Amino acid sequence: MRFVARLVVVAVVLFAAPVHAQTATGFAPPVESSIQSVIPRMIAWRRDFHQHPELSYEEVRTARIVAQHLRSLRLEVRTGVAQTGVVGVLRGARPGPVIALRADMDALPVTEEVDLPFRSRARGRYNGQDVGIMHACGHDTHVAVLMAAASVLAARRNEIAGTIIFVFQPSEEGAPPGGMGGARRMLAENVFGDLQPEAIFGLHAWPAPSGTVTMIPGPFMAGSDRIDITVTGSQTHGAQPHAGIDPIVASSQIINALQTVPSRQMDAVRSPVIVTIGMIQGGVRYNIIPQTVQMQGTIRYLNPDTRADLYARIRRTVTETAAATGATAEVTITENAIPTVNPPALMARTRAAVARSLGEEAVLSGLPVMPAEDFAYFQQAVPGVFFFYGVNPPGVSAAEAAPNHNPRFFVHEPAMETALRAMLAIALDRVGGGA
């Protein structure tokens, strides 16, 4: 309760004061003027998207607003890429490299608990259930920041040497059953058209100090796959367990045994791993040992080179543990996202460009994290860098801040200016135009 009250006070202060919170560094005066003029619109876009969130592949309203804005800037615009995705192309007046900037648009099935004037009250259907919908991962800010970046860069069209592709991606938060997530689907539908970017860049809101960005070379975010396990025993009376095979007992042993995969079977330095069982379901009555138990979970890993070995060990551990009890087990692993890995040389140049804009003290290093991001699929097709920008209000530590995907997730709006400046610094370092 103390944290929620603190957020409300911070929010009141924020809305009563101007949003501009950064000291301008690293940009020519015309670019700086464009930045200052677009910030109020960027905040307004963000608040509108926050108040009207849309789930994966339902981002119809968001996509319409994005497309209208890009067309107003005289960009080449394609809509309907991966159902609701939008792609805008800005061609500079002079030849030069092609780069891409990406933002994701979808919200989550989360009911907002932050008391904001523009809080989400939206509801929808998810997995057959009526749910609240919230931008609990900051994608509303990603979209607004990239729209603002497009405004500033379009105003520099005559000075730009090269081409910038703006990618507004649907469905980052997970693929529908049997389908593809937004990044993979956009790539399958030729998101870049006849252009071939030399690099792609993306950003994400993260509970870290406002005014900072976090950039890490190498593995940055984890690969994330789903595991489904069916344990089959032999149904019997609860008073006569010897007459059957208990899949519930077998399942409990499997859950415990799975924890030895990261702790005892994998190199903790070369390949940090998490195996989590998040759902277990079996039985219909208190005195009947059931025939089967279903389990679902998630696997997280950072080193792409150890993925095949990891999954072989998981399958062996599950099936042989089940066999030791007399049961059998079937294991299905479904790919959700591969690790997000920042190429060191590309990261070094990107970091230097951002440091020139924000100052060295604003560019943080850190450790990889175990959440996943489907930006990694763009990195498979094009060298790419992904980074975080901090969204905590002043005085709120990372430990105090609500994490992403939490109903109390909160973005300190002045932090968005940091994100905008970082994206502009990266783009202008590649195509010129006033950094």
Residues 211 and 242 in one domain: no
pLDDT at position 174: 84
Question: What CATH number should be reported for the domain holding residue 110?
Answer: 3.40.630.10
- Tell me the two tokens of residue 251: 């399942």
Question: Are 216 and 208 a contacting pair, CB within 8 Å?
Answer: no
Residues 233 and 361 in one domain: no
Nearest CA to 401 among 131, 221, 136?
Answer: 136
Q: Which residues are paired to 131 by β-bridges?
A: 124
pLDDT at position 26: 78
Residues 242 and 188 in one domain: no
Residues 309 and 231 in one domain: yes
Nearest CA to 338 among 205, 183, 188?
Answer: 183
Residues 206 and 315 in one domain: no
Catalytic residue among 54, 112, 140, 172: 172
Q: At which of 311, 337, 363 does a domain end?
A: 337
Q: What is the 3-state secondary structure (H, E, C) of 172-211?
A: CCCCCCCCCCHHHHHHHCCCCCCCCCCEEEEEEEEEEECC
Residues 129 and 105 in one domain: yes
pLDDT at position 22: 40
pLDDT at position 89: 98
Please identify which residue in the block is written with the tokens 């009947």: 288
User: 5 lies in a domain?
Assistant: no
106 has catalytic annotation? yes
What's 399's DSSP letter? T
Residues 227 and 212 in one domain: no
Q: At which of 337, 355, 374 does a domain end?
A: 337
Residues 314 and 232 in one domain: yes
User: 385 lies in a domain?
Assistant: yes
CA 63 – CA 143 distance, rounded (Å) = 10
pLDDT at position 175: 83
Q: At which of 284, 318, 337 does a domain end?
A: 337
pLDDT at position 293: 98
Residues 289 and 234 in one domain: yes
From the centroid of its chain, how far is CA 134?
14
Residues 283 and 307 in one domain: yes
Nearest CA to 236 among 283, 180, 187?
Answer: 283
**What's the structural domain count of the chain?**
2
CB neighbour list of residue 298: distance below 8 Å, 6 or more residues apart: 224, 225, 226, 227, 274, 275, 276, 278, 336
| Distances from the Cα of 415 to the Cα of 132, 211, 296, angstroms | 26, 5, 37
Mean pLDDT of the chain: 93
Residues 63 and 148 in one domain: yes
**Strand residues in 233-364 grouped as ranges (E):** 236-237, 273-282, 288-289, 292-301, 328-337, 340-342, 363-364
- Tell me the two tokens of residue 6: 């603190």
User: 82 lies in a domain?
Assistant: yes
Please identify which residue in the block is written with the tokens 């969204």: 391
User: 12 lies in a domain?
Assistant: no
User: 395 lies in a domain?
Assistant: yes
Tens digits of pLDDT across the chain (435 residues): 333 333 333 333 343 333 434 444 579 999 999 999 999 999 999 999 999 999 999 999 999 999 999 999 999 999 999 999 999 999 999 999 999 999 999 999 999 999 999 999 999 999 899 999 999 999 999 999 999 999 999 999 999 999 999 999 999 998 888 889 999 999 999 999 999 999 999 999 999 999 999 999 999 999 999 999 999 999 999 999 999 999 999 999 999 999 999 999 999 999 999 999 999 999 999 999 999 999 999 999 999 999 999 999 999 999 999 999 999 999 999 988 999 999 999 999 999 999 999 999 999 999 999 999 999 999 999 999 999 999 999 999 989 999 999 999 999 999 999 999 999 999 999 998 665
Residue 385 has, within 13 A of its CA and on its CB side, a CA count of 26
Catalytic residue among 54, 58, 106, 112: 106
Q: Which residues are paired to 98 by β-bridges?
A: 163
CA 351 – CA 401 distance, rounded (Å) = 26
Full domain range(s) for residue 33: 23-221+339-431
pLDDT at position 176: 85
What's 129's DSSP letter? E
Give the containing element (helix H, strand E) for 77: strand 76-81
What is the value of pTM for the model shown? 0.90
Q: Three-state SS for 85?
A: strand
First-to-last C-alpha distance (Å) of the chain? 44
Question: Are 227 and 357 a contacting pair, CB within 8 Å?
Answer: no
Q: 408 — phi, psi (to 5°)?
A: -105, 15
**Strand residues in 324-427 grouped as ranges (E):** 328-337, 340-342, 363-364, 384-392
Question: Are 366 and 353 a contacting pair, CB within 8 Å?
Answer: no
User: 94 lies in a domain?
Assistant: yes
Residues 207 and 245 in one domain: no
Q: Three-state SS for 288?
A: strand
pLDDT at position 13: 37
Question: Are 410 and 393 a contacting pair, CB within 8 Å?
Answer: yes
User: 11 lies in a domain?
Assistant: no
User: 6 lies in a domain?
Assistant: no
What's 93's DSSP letter? S
Question: What CATH number should be reported for the domain holding residue 249?
Answer: 3.30.70.360
CA 295 – CA 280 distance, rounded (Å) = 4
Q: Three-state SS for 354?
A: helix
- Tell me the two tokens of residue 269: 């330095």
